[in-house]
Amino acid sequence: MPRISLQNATVDFPIYHSSSRRLSSSLLRLTTGGELSKEKRGMVHVTALDSLNLDFESGSRVGLIGHNGAGKTTLLRLLTGVYEPTSGVCIRGGQISSLMDISMGFSSDASGIENIYLRAAFLGLTRKQTDVMLDSIVEFSELGDFVNLPVRTYSSGMLLRLAFAVSTAIEPEILVMDEWLAVGDAAFQQKAELRIRKVVEASDILVIASHGENLLKKVCNRIIWFEHGKVKMDDKPSKVLPKYFK
């Protein structure tokens, strides 16, 4: 059964040569939102996530809230394996898909078709699995013959449509999102909205960072409020959201 467990998980980022850059603690705190510590050698560390103990189990629809730099995106990247804990552990069980950086893995000189295979491999799909999905991905993207051209010739909207079509072609057990995606023109957005809702509903676990109160109320059954890499509140939306958005 899909599950993610964090046990005393901490993520630190070292800031090298901070003294030579004359960066003050107050400036660093404003820039990162994390907690600062300093070793005897003078190296500054920003603690983006601090000793987290969290479990995400089947049926969870978790919303992450907090000011910019509170640790939400760092947590999402920890859950997906982009980051590993500096200390503590992150136990992942189940197929995880991220809709954070949907064009990650793309090559500007490769064709749309080639990039479908690149992105699909990044998502953990085999070539045979991608072969089965290829026609439906191309059709959904509405790119037509442009799929055979290098993506450097695409407009930003075309690139996003292709990236979205690939990234939402699978129904993962665990889905991680940084805000709700909206891509393309009005007609494509309507189709994309239906697609993303289908992917969300099919997932066993959803973790989404958002600043949208109405979205969080509608989608989530649990809210985690972060401040400076620590959990300030973890409860039902009806308990957390009124206090955060007051």
Domain at 3-98+208-244: CATH architecture? 3-Layer(aba) Sandwich (3.40)
Cα separation, 124 vs 13, whole angstroms? 27
Say what the pLDDT of residue 31 is. 46
Phi, psi dihedral angles at 207 (to 5 degrees): -130, 120
Look at the chain and count its residues.
246
Burial letters for 56-74: b for 16+ Cβ neighbours within 10 Å, e otherwise?
beeebbbbbbbeebbbbbb
Q: Over the chain (246 residues), what is each successive 10-residue block's mean pLDDT? A: 94 70 49 54 79 96 94 94 94 89 87 95 90 96 95 92 91 90 79 90 95 93 96 97 93
Cα separation, 68 vs 32, whole angstroms? 8
Say what the pLDDT of residue 27 is. 47
Domain ranges of the chain: 3-98+208-244
Say what the pLDDT of residue 184 is. 73
Say what the pLDDT of residue 16 is. 65
Please count the CA atoms within 13 angstroms of the CA of 21 that sit on its side-chain side: 12
Residue in the structure block whose two tokens are 């070539």: 127
Say what the pLDDT of residue 46 is. 85
Cα separation, 209 vs 187, whole angstroms? 26
Phi, psi dihedral angles at 69 (to 5 degrees): 90, 5
Say what the pLDDT of residue 17 is. 59
Say what the pLDDT of residue 108 is. 92
**Positions of E strands within 82-214:** 87-93, 96-98, 174-178, 205-209
Say what the pLDDT of residue 177 is. 92
